Amino acid sequence: MKRLENLGIIKQVAMKRKKDMLQTANAIIIIPVEKLLSKSPISVRPLKQLLIP
């Protein structure tokens, strides 16, 4: 998850309980491909190449 977040593919948002404001599971937001492409003027490699070191 950390690597996907560093690549800008996903975003994690901490969720809290309304009752006692303790942390529960994080919400994962997948960033649309259009936003990823608009940020990168360099040619975009396939996802497999990004994930494999």
C-alpha 16/C-alpha 5 separation (Å) is 20
CA 48 to chain CA centroid, Å, is: 16
- pLDDT (tens digit per residue) in 20-37: 888 788 889 988 876 555
- Cα 11–Cα 6–Cα 41 angle in degrees, nearest 5: 100
By the 8 A CB rule, do 36 and 44 touch? Answer: yes
Answer yes or no: is pLDDT of 39 > 80: no
Q: How confident is the model at residue 19 (pLDDT cuts 50, 70, 90)?
A: confident
C-alpha 27/C-alpha 43 separation (Å) is 30
C-alpha 36/C-alpha 23 separation (Å) is 29
